[in-house]
Amino acid sequence: MTNPTVAVLGLGTMGAAMARNIAAAGMDVRVWNRSPERAEPLADVATVAGSVREAVTGADVVLTMLYDERATAETMGDARGAFAADAVWLQQATVGIDGADRLGALAEELGLVHVDAPVLGTKKPAEDGALVVLASGPEDAEERLAPVLEAIGSRTMWVGEAGAGQRLKLAANAWVFTVLEGVAESLALTRDLGLDPHLFLEAVQGGALDAPYVQLKGNAMLDGAFDPSFALAGALKDADLILAAAEAAGSDLAILPGVRRHLARAVDAGHGDKDMAATYLPH
């Protein structure tokens, strides 16, 4: 498939950027969002559909980037009977292991080829078309999806049968949250010990203990720059998916329960719509 027609369902921070990059690569794009005002800014590059059924009719690829499994299942269910016979469902939200299994069963009901392909990266990589795609599904879908995945990502890993992508995404997010909380705690400890917390970032900068993410999130915490690249409420949702998967697998995670507690504390304090760096804020 050299020039597929793509329906993008869900136009939050990630979905809108992905739709724009797919259109920029020369593909015909239809967009839909439950809140129509989210779709209007894309009218210059895509066809804004008035309903989810209108968006998916005749589409070769249906890309979903919705908040969670429930929103994804409801949206796809609303389009039942409108999908093209050979359409591929490119499911890119983080929905967890059980969620991926249930959506896979729904895909079979709807007669769709199911590809589970969550992504690594937040707002800026999505805008730059530099996401890392963790794709999983049937081998014959790889070539069909290549133009779409090349438009949204810098790299695609095919990691096995549908659902394997979710497993790898949860492991990767566990690391992201570990780094996030580690930076927040080191900055807080530096502050509480009576020092300027900027000294911590300066001490590790450029050495073996440093990483771009350490400086990025650390400076955001200290500058109060909480415009959401990855909202706290979404991070808490994903932390719950990680812990559920770990419990089912028999993994003994020492750090993530504490990270989850701090994320929940920040959400309860009213910071759920801020970037997850806001976990640093005093509570």
d(CA 190, CA 195): 6
From residue 215, give the alpha-carbon distance in Å to each of 9, 183, 219, 259.
33, 9, 6, 19
d(CA 241, CA 276): 16
121 touches 109 (CB < 8 A):
no
Q: Using CB atoms within 10 A of its CB, is residue 108 exposed (0-12), middle (13-18) or buried (19+)?
A: exposed
d(CA 36, CA 57): 18
Concerning whether 237 is annotated as a catalytic residue, the answer is no
123 Cβ contact partners less than 8 Å away, ≥ 6 residues apart: 13, 14, 17, 228, 229, 230
Beta bridge mates, 28:
5
d(CA 22, CA 54): 19
- Residue type (1 letter), 162: A
**Marked catalytic residue, from 124, 169, 217, 274:** 169
Residues annotated as catalytic (active site), given as ranges: 169
